[in-house]
Amino acid sequence: MNIKNIIYKRKSIRKYKGEPIEKERLLEIKELIKNVTPLYKEIKMQGLLVENGVEIQKISKGIIGSYGKIEAPHYIVVTSEEKEGFHENIGFAFEKLVLDLTHMGLGTCWIGGAIKKELLNGIVEIPENQKPVVLIAFGYPEDSNIFNIELSSGHKRKELEYIALGTLNDTWEEIFQGVRRAPSAVNFQPWRFYKDHSEIHAYVTEGNIITRNLAHFSKLDMGIALCHLKLMCEYKGFKVEFINQDLPKRKGLQYVITIKVK
Ligand SMILES: Cc1cc2nc3c(=O)[nH]c(=O)nc-3n(C[C@H](O)[C@H](O)[C@H](O)COP(=O)(O)O)c2cc1C
């Protein structure tokens, strides 16, 4: 299955079969976790596999800001140093893992929310100077027909012209259709892209008084969308480079990064 189909197939899965994933598969997943590709190499982060999901289910009340209870057989706790850009870094690196798991027929769901480090004592070993940032639940979906592409997430998104500005030919429309399907916390879709010839400038919405305290989620969401953008560009035969041009704000939008394509 090509990456475009995997992107279209992925959706957040909130109900899982109870049984764990086969041991060999978990080993394969452990390798994938170890080898995720960061956006910013200099920021240390880690994905810690929790094989026995019950351990996370027991502390789920202590995860502030996550919505709904998601009981999965396994979770990944993502930890990071708190350096400029760490949220985007996590989103970018671990969305590729989410897509790899989707390709294996597994369900996934990002779970945001503040997790107290102490709650994870005895469950995972958090590296020094890092904090837990986000969880990813995964396992076999309870409903095995759930990945039916007809029922995919495309309809739950803002229109393309709202998130991608500039002149878009068919190729670029196809690329941004893949970006548009990126998951985001509370389906907020805070990403906006300005295409200017071979450069795409990425911005996140600053939000209003109520949504402003979701700003850290927006950065995570942006990392996720940048992962989709890179994969879709490569799928269409482009080479991608990320550069920081320190562009000024646009109305209600904060600049994040520029993607140069060749
Ligand atoms: C950073 C982040 C945090 C999320 N946190 C939660 C969560 O705590 N609980 C939940 O049920 N879904 C969570 N989601 C899933 C989103 O609600 C979901 O991606 C969005 O509604 C779009 O739906 P889709 O993923 O099925 O396309 C989160 C997604 C992201 C990207």
pLDDT digits (tens, 9 = 90+) for 97-137: 999 999 999 999 999 988 889 999 999 999 999 999 999 99
Q: Which residue has the tokens 């109520």?
A: 210
Q: Is 111 in the pocket of ligand 1 (CB under 6 A)?
A: yes
- Same domain for 95 and 165, yes or no, is no
β-strand pairing of 253-261 with 240-243: antiparallel
Mutational test site, ligand 1, from 14, 69, 111, max ligand atoms within 8 Å of CB: 111
Measured in angstroms, how far is the CA atom of residue 190 from the centroid of ligand 1?
13
- Same domain for 8 and 128, yes or no, is yes
The pLDDT of residue 148 is 78
Low-confidence ranges of the chain (pLDDT < 70): 149-154
Within a domain: 144:
no
Measured in angstroms, how far is the CA atom of residue 78 from the centroid of ligand 1?
15
Within a domain: 231:
yes
The pLDDT of residue 236 is 98
- Same domain for 205 and 128, yes or no, is no
The pLDDT of residue 185 is 93
- CA-wise closest residue to 222 among 178, 175, 173, 179: 179
Q: Is 220 in the pocket of ligand 1 (CB under 6 A)?
A: yes
Within a domain: 145:
no
Burial of 26 (0-12, 13-18, 19+ CB in 10 A): middle
Last residue of a domain, one of 139, 162, 191: 139
Mutational test site, ligand 1, from 8, 12, 77, 99, max ligand atoms within 8 Å of CB: 12
Measured in angstroms, how far is the CA atom of residue 152 from the centroid of ligand 1?
14
User: What is the residue range of 26's domain?
Assistant: 3-139
- Same domain for 96 and 163, yes or no, is no
15 touches 92 (CB < 8 A): no
Within a domain: 147:
no
Within a domain: 237:
yes
Q: Is 14 in the pocket of ligand 1 (CB under 6 A)?
A: yes
Burial of 12 (0-12, 13-18, 19+ CB in 10 A): middle
Indicate the number of domains in the chain: 2
- Same domain for 44 and 126, yes or no, is yes
- In sign, the C-alpha dihedral spanning 228, 252, 162, 183 is positive
Last residue of a domain, one of 105, 139, 173: 139
The pLDDT of residue 149 is 64
